[in-house]
Structure 1
Amino acid sequence: MNLSYSLFRGASIQLDAIDLDLHHASTKIASLASVKNVWPVRYFEHLANGKGSSGNSNIGKLNHLSKHFARTTADNDTVGYAPHVLTQVDKLHAEGFTGKGIRVGLVDSGVDYNHPVLGGCFGEGCIISYGKDLIGDDFNGTNTPVPDPYPQDCLGHGTHVSGIIAAQENYLGFIGAAYGANLGMYKALNCAGVSSNDVLIAAFNEAYEDGSDIISLSVGIISGWKEDPLAIAVSRIIDAGVPCVIANGNNGPFVFSSATPADGKGVMAVASIENTMTPLLGTEGFTSLDSSSENLTSFVWIPGTPAFPNITLPLWVVTPNTTAYGTWNACSPLNENAPADLSDKLVLVELSDCSDPDIANSLLKNNAKYIMFYSSDDDLSNLYSVSTTPETLGSGMVPRQQALVWRDLLGDGTEVYATMIEPQSAGTAAAFFPNDSNGGCVDEFSSWGPTWEADLNPRISTPGGSILSTYPLWMGGYYVDSGTSMAAPLMASIYALIMEARSIKDPKTLMGLVSSTANQRKYVDYNTGIFYEGLAPVAQQGAGLAQAYDAVHATTTLSVSSISLNDTNHLVNSTDFTITNGAKQAVTYSVGHVPTLSREAYKTGQSTLGRSTTPSNATATLTFSETKVTVPAGGSAKITIEVTPPQGLNSSNLPVYGGYITLSGSNGENLVLPYLGVAGSLKNARSIDPGYSFIYHTTGRFPQEAPDNDTWTIPYPTVGSKPSTSSTIDYPALGVEADAGIPLLRADIIPLGATPAKTTNILGVDVAGSLHGYPVRWLNTNINQVAFNGVTQEGTILPEGNYAVLLRALKIFGDEENPGDYFTKQTGSFNIKYASSTT
């Protein structure tokens, strides 16, 4: 690929691994005077559904849109749409702001621009007015992209993201947060959701050069390093004046789990908040209080096997009075209080304690032919397509919330009739149910910061859990999805609204406005189920939940949007910020401090990052040069902060602490300045896992350390060949796990004894070469496995003999030229013999 752009000049080169020595060729390229850096091509994926897919989310190829809007919170409008209420977007819509005139560039999987809710067209005058396909239909992540002018979506992800920004009003009851904006779609993900960093770099630069005011991305890989080449390219665009909004990743609840390029310098990295109203998308049915077709009330159901035909029947509910054990289910036959013949009823029954076929079999004793199951709790993800019996003529499932409404009516003696339409002819409908468990809280899947260099991350939070949006028409047209992928386009929309309302486009100013006006959320420990009174850590929610209206109308600005206190070795124990009063009158500000819970990255005695580390009340102490300051209209005031880090924490577990500096203005404005620090030494963070750094046999059932001085007899290799860890040939392979971020990891091969290998001294050690793909940079916590067939990364075939691998992991903040700045671990020895040789 030719990557010749105003902000990034380069090329992506694929070398022939059979005829060329990859390392030698790349070294020659890197040595050219005009080349500033060389990076390997890395493969990226869309940020997969944070909550796992559920049976009700994708309703399939339903061809009709409901004319009877099904919703529990509002009439047929979008005024009360929960994600917009949470973020105050609804207030800006009420003031007439829609993002009109703002160009939002999306880098994603394309978009179904034929979708009527997205305008139904592509190009000038359309909602999806610009963009392109950068990869073509046959791109697999490794072959040469073949661009195309039309960014049609074959994955669904990009269409869903597009609807969050730009969907027009529709019968399902949602609308885009910046529905007046123009979208540009740069298709960089194939049908499997795969891309590569060279393609993504191209997409960002194309979006920038086509005049995008904002660029949004919901793609990434776990990283924690701002030095990744894609992150660098994005940061250049931000420095050039275009804000970039990027999903922070779905790798929570681990600390240090952010994705690149969200952790790049200046990026608005977005965490996910769970929706307060959970949408259920499915097939539409109707009820009435008589058997007529008038005064119908719409509801949503999930078709079972078999699904309902076109029928109208009275509801009859299984109650404890009609069951042998006093339950709402029918795991055993009904008692004498139940009608002997239920064939002319639609039986409503709870699905609990036994399977759906068991209940259907029990109800057959009373000749039940039509059964509507409902779930035993309020979790909509528990709905699915039920199975029944060959004698059953129709079945489906509704949520408990809906069933309770019918149960109450029937319990009061009111007759309820259900009109069912067979699914192929029925409309698509949506219903919204209150989420009283974790609605409004940061999602468990949402990635935590900070970066491995203690940069504050994420920056902000918006609703990304359980979001209804558009989907390709051929995939059903609509979908409920979850992830920071959904949170990022909502944040991009908020930027568009602020740009329209305040005519501000500077990335730093926008981030400051959104960050300082955010609303902080309380902490939920999903592992224990505890809902804390204290605020969620800054490393989880950033500044908090974005408040679009407050950001538009704030008159106070702060000189910085956040403060990173670094780690213990580099503690910023004194810093300052400036308050600027843009109001027409003097404002008095009270300065305070609200600390958040701290949380350890590791558990004591465990080497890998902990999923369920316990939070602590140990917090930093902040003192201010002034706790009350009056700033004249148009004036500024500097506040100096002295920091004492928290005491009593186990520094070896890398506790992350933080909080919010608060400003309460006499004009009614309440602002925050988030800060974050690490109460331990990042340079001393565990990196090479002591229990997973060894040589193993590739033909074993799973990687297991081979005996010391073991022998492998392998085919004589060809220069440039690369063995696979899944090869049927038994190769020696290196397995190594990184337990912390590693700026640079070397895997050098050391000849032992009288092995006649030529060596080069690297950092004080004579080595025969590197394993394939090494050294590698900017690693996060993961397992790396590579087989060895006798050919080094440098293209040398090693002679038969005895070897070991010396692992050297550069410490965070370390000097890569200093041998003392590496963690080292030498594997057990292994012998190489060739089954055949060449002369």
Structure 2
Amino acid sequence: MVAYLRLLPILGLLVIETARVNAVSLENDRPRTAGNWDYIPGAYIIEYEDGHENEASLFSDLHTRGIPATKRMGLSYSLFKGASIQLDAIDLDPHHASTKIASLTSVKNVWPVRYFQHLANGKRTFGDSYIGNLNSLSKHSMKAAAENDIVGYAPHVITQVDKLHAEGFAGGCFGKGCIISYGMDLIGDGFNGTNTPVPGPYPQDCLGHGTHVAGIIAAQENPLGFVGAAYGANLGMYKALNCAGVSSNDVLIAAFNEAYEDGSDIISLSVGIISGWKEDPLSVAVSRIIDAGVPCVIANGNNGPFVFSSATPADGKGVMAVASIENTMTPLLGTEGFTSLDGSSDNLTSFVWVPGTPAFPNITLPLWLVAPNATADGTWTACSPLNDNALADLSDNIVLVELSGCSDPDIANNLLKNNAKYIMFYNSDDNLSNLYSVSTTPDTLGAGMVPLQQVLEWRDLLGNGTQVYATMVEPQSANITAAYFPNDSNGGYVDDFSSWGPTWEADLNPRSSTPGGSILSTYPLSMGGYYVDSGTSMAAPLMASIYALIMEARSIKDPKALMSLVSSTAKQTKYYDSYNGVFYEGLAPVAQQGAGLAQAYDAVHATTSPSVSSISFNDTDHFVNSTVFTVSNGAEQAVTYSIGHVPSLSRETYKTGQLTLGRSTTPNDAAVSLAFSESKVTVPAGGSVRITVEVTPPQGLNASNLPVYGGYITLGGSNGESLVLLGSQPSTSSSIDYPALGVEADAGIPLLRADIIPLGSTPAKTSNVLGVDVAGSLHGYPVRWLNTNINQVAFNGVTQEGTILPEGNYAVLLRALKIFGDEENPDDYFTKQTRSFNIKYTSTAA
């Protein structure tokens, strides 16, 4: 049998040479961000110039230049030497002093400090976290867990982690001890994102997010029947988010460097803000760590399904940016109940229910089903009183009734006519997110809710005349437990919230995918102990675990080698347009799934290794029409490869007639044409071969809507291997009564200038900038590395350079540098001039 080595997810952009000009407007069809962000007024990250790493000299120089400041955080590490500072005095423009700071001889780089809000708001699937009897291991739960092990814990099964566990790989202990053995609190209890962090020794999780992602890596045996993917790993934890999910980029830079300095083998982060630029300071800091030999695995963001929605620092150079796949088995976390066929305490079967109002007390009663023959309208619900076929007295039964067509109190009141005191509601469909804590009547003694999937089993038994008894335990005394239900709708497809690439410079993003949708993991005991959450936050730690297993099994740590192994063995998924509910036969775009779903076992045992993990063709104007990759054969025999190409669907960035990013745009099967230097090649044992590939862009795409296309180079191998290799919108407003300029970027911009031009006989002094006489720049400009967001700034007549403009007539010239453009070349800018405005000053009597 011929196996296929799918090499190099390939990716490119098709563009036309026109500017997309958009008025300032807000539409609902815009990317949702993983959090909100803003600049901290007067706060900057400073990197020292080589040979000038002297903190005291920096602050002395700042004071001498008339911009005295205090330290926010020291950032003096082996790979990043600098500090974040807070200016003592802040004027209208939070970026006003950046030019002066950058002019200091001791300063190499300066960036504004950004703070982020709601970073860890996961895309929680359903239900609550339940506080039950956490110290008691239910023998029934453990029995259910053992039964589930026959099927396997789904995230581990579809990524082949279970196969590596079976071979004895657990992630290893890379340091002394096990579980969490090092780390620190980088912010302190009083941190709000804008004030000075106060580090401490103990990274106590008050948010739950860190404990959840840690459990995905290293959870130990527990009554719910799952373990971490790298349960033998040694963890370091660095607290960088406060209890509300707030952090700042200087804190995150510190966290990465602390983890690196402490000797971490892998660094994983489940935080991100929409960006798309590898030049972002956080991305720069992370990329240096990767270049130093430590792989970084980072959640790609929850900004999908928009193209160009990747987050920083996942879009950094060399980062393993992870997309999220929906779990194939959906977990339901809740209170444990039991059923039996004879009402005894023997041979009990565990089930999960969600307590209602009031919750069930400790009882054992038979189930009675509301069936169509007992209802006036022939349904499974009770929106009307039951007919004469129903039992007249249901007080000694637990009534099963479908919740649809009317409210839960209405159903309870109708059942009360038959003296029903105990009611178990269930979904009308298999959507577990519809489970909730039902409400009933003052005369109801117990209520709850279970999923349809569970009731269907009971329906069959009751329909065959079998009597089923339910034993209920009041929630405060009950165990918590979990059940797993097959996800036959979108299980195994990329989640709709998962951020799409590529970066604004057409670099491949995301790199690969793992399950992140509907993941059961650990949680702080004070918050219930366990929790079901969704997000690329959940996908990243699973990928980090796969890295750990590969490192243990293959004794390698090189970030490039690890990424190539994971990419070259990944399994591609088909495309599901969740927004329109359409399933396509074609492969999901490379910009959505990267290489595809990671396959850990295949990565560990692969003998073929590619020299690169992906190929990017850039955009039309900077098209890479020819490239070379190398395939090495580590097997003990020669392998013959047939070389081919499997395209993925392309997707447009914009809708026709719409100037903002489209949540759902037209997919297309138009593909590039690839020509290879060899159509078939034999690689000797231990040898390698160079393959040249020439590319012709696809035809039939609407270039004005910026389609993103891609696919996979395939090597059909004779050795039987199956491998894969990839061929916040800030809300800003001014409280000051000045005119304001608003600019909405509908695509990434590497550099945006806002120069003020005097008109007519206005007596302003000017300087020539890129061929135009300008009187200065608007406050905060020029701005680098913009994503798709609103930039609004008030103007009071004072330029960014500190000049008070004389009265007169002016306009603002906006100049947006083209991606890959030369910022010194005026022809490499898109330009737009505003309407004219007048400046006239008024004086106030003393």
Normalized against structure 1, the TM-score is what? 0.88
Separation of aligned partners in 1, 2:408 and 2:655: 42
Alignment partner of 2:826 out of 812, 819, 830: 819
> Deviation of residue 528 (structure 1)?
2.6
Picking from 257, 277, 288, the partner of 2:309 is 257
Q: Give CA deviations for 1:220-274 in whole Å, capped at 9, x if unaligned.
A: 1111111111111111111110000011111111111111111111111100000
Offset at residue 838 of structure 1 (A)? 7.9
| 8 Å CA contact retained: 1:225, 1:452 | yes
Q: Is the 8 A contact 2:606 2:723 kept in 1?
A: no
- Specify which of 74, 91, 96 is matched with residue 2 of structure 1: 74
8 Å CA contact retained: 2:496, 2:579: no
Does the aligned pair in 2 maintain the 1:102–1:499 contact within 8 Å?
no
Percent identity of paired positions between Structure 1 and Structure 2: 84
- 2:127 is matched with 56
1:725 to 716, 722, 733: 733
Shift of 1:763: 2.9
1:38 counterpart SS class: strand
C-alpha distance in 1, partners of 2:777/2:310?
29
1:822 deviates by: 2.0
Pairwise mapping of residues 261-300 of structure 1 onto structure 2 (< 5 A)? 261-300=313-352
Structure 2 equivalent of residue 159 of structure 1: 211
Task: Quickly say closer, same or farther: Cα 1:168–1:142, change in 2 above 3 A.
Answer: same
CA shift in 2, pair 1:838/1:74, >3 Å: farther
Residues 459-513 of structure 1 deviation map (CA, whole Å, 9 limit, x = unaligned):
1100000000011111111110101100000000000001111100001111111
* Corresponding letter in the other structure for 2:781: Y
- Superposed CA deviations along residues 168-199 of structure 1, whole A, max 9, x for unmatched, are 01111111000000000111111111211111
Q: Which residue of 2 aligns with 1:186?
A: 238
Residue in structure 2 matched with residue 662 of structure 1 by the alignment: 714
Q: What residue is the counterpart of 1:35 in the other structure?
A: 107
The separation in 1 between residues aligned to 2:715 and 2:845, in whole angstroms, is 76
Correspondences of 1:451-490 after superposition (within 5 Å):
451-490=503-542
Q: Among 92, 98, 103, which residue is 2:170 paired with? A: 98
User: How is 1:352-501 mapped onto 2 (pairs within 5 angstroms)?
Assistant: 352-501=404-553
User: Structure 1's 270 and 48: CA in aligned 2 closer, same or farther, altered over 3 A?
Assistant: same
Alignment of 1:56-205 (within 5 A): 56-60=127-131, 63=134, 67=138, 68-69=140-141, 75=147, 77=149, 80-102=152-174, 125-205=177-257
> For residue 293 of structure 2, what is the amino acid of its counterpart?
G
Taking a change above 3 Å as real, the CA distance of residues 339 and 731 of structure 1, as seen in their structure-2 partners, is farther
Q: CA deviation at 1:33?
A: 2.6
Would you say 1:806 and 2:813 are equivalent positions? yes
Task: Give the CA deviation at 1:32.
Answer: 2.4
Q: CA deviation at 1:666?
A: 1.4
Q: Which residue of 1 aligns with 2:98?
A: 26
Q: Partner of 2:11 in structure 1?
A: none
Q: Distance in 1 between matches of 2:118 and 2:568?
A: 30
Contact 2:637 2:684 in 1 (8 A): yes
Per the TM alignment, residue 295 of structure 1 is displaced from its structure 2 partner at its CA by 1.7
Q: CA contact under 8 A between 1:102 and 1:500: conserved in structure 2?
A: no
- 8 A Cα contact 1:343 1:370, kept in partner: yes
Unaligned runs of 5+ in 2: 1-72
Contact 2:119 2:272 in 1 (8 A): yes
Tell me the distance in 1 between the aligned counterparts of 2:612 and 2:94: 45
Counterpart residue number, 2:754: 747
**Change in 2 beyond 3 A, CA 1:20/1:274:** closer
Cα separation, 1, equivalents of 2:195 and 2:602: 47
Say if 1:468 and 1:21 are closer, same or farther in 2 by CA, change over 3 A.
closer
How far off its partner does 1:527 sit? 2.5
The corresponding residue for 1:505 is: 557
- From the superposition, tell whether residues 527 and 79 of structure 1 become closer, same or farther in structure 2 (CA, over 3 Å): closer
For 1:552, the equivalent position in structure 2 comes to 604
For 1:403 and 1:621, the matched residues in 2 are separated by 53
Question: CA shift at 1:743, angstroms?
Answer: 0.6
Residue type of the partner of 1:56?
G
Aligned length: 771
Equivalent residue number for residue 773 of structure 1: 780
Shift of 1:749: 3.6
Q: Distance in 2 between matches of 1:672 and 1:23?
A: 46
Letter paired with 2:738: Y
Distance 1:612 1:550 in 2: 34
Structure 2 SS opposite 1:250: coil
State whether structure 2 residue 371 is matched by structure 1 residue 319: yes
CA distance in 2, matches of 1:774, 1:270: 33
Query: Which residue in 2 is equivalent to 1:243?
Result: 295
Alignment correspondent of 1:736: 743
Equivalent-residue separation in structure 2 for 1:23 and 1:293 (angstroms): 70
SS at the partner of 1:189?
coil
SS in 2 for 1:40: strand
Cα separation, 2, equivalents of 1:838 and 1:515: 71
1:366–1:146 distance in 2 versus 1, CA, 3 Å = same
Match of 1:328 in 2: 380
Name which of structure 1's ranges 773-782 and 313-322 shifts more when overlaid on structure 2: 773-782
Structure 1 pair 213–45 and aligned structure 2 pair: CA distance change class (3 A): farther
C-alpha distance in structure 2 between counterparts of 1:537 and 1:578, whole Å: 24
Q: Distance in 2 between matches of 1:641 and 1:19?
A: 55
What secondary structure sits across from 2:791 in the alignment?
strand
Question: Structure 1: how far apart are the matches of 2:219 and 2:312?
Answer: 28
Residue among 396, 407, 418 paired with 1:344: 396
1:631 Cα deviation from its structure 2 partner: 1.1
AA matched with 1:725? S
Gaps of 5+ in 1: 104-123, 676-691, 693-702, 704-723
Contact 2:144-2:350 at 8 Å conserved across structures: no
Deviation at residue 734 of structure 1 after TM alignment: 2.3
| Contact 1:228–1:260, Cα closer than 8 Å, also in 2 | yes
Of 266, 271, 275, 1:214 maps to 266
Aligned partner of 2:29 in structure 1 is none
Distance across 2 between alignment mates of 1:761 and 1:300:
72
- Cα 1:20–1:5 shift into 2, 3 Å: farther
SS at match of 1:786: strand
For each residue in 1:292-332, what CA deviation from the matched residue of structure 2 results, as whole angstroms up to 9, or x when unmatched? 22221111111111111222211111000011110011111
1:802 offset after TM fit, Å? 4.7
| Alignment partner, residue 63 of structure 2 | none
- Find the aligned partners of 2:240 and 2:77 in 1 and give their Cα distance: 17
SS of residue paired to 1:93: helix
Amino acid at match of 1:224: G
**What amino acid is aligned across from residue 800 of structure 2 in structure 1?**
Q
- 1:721 matched residue in structure 2: none
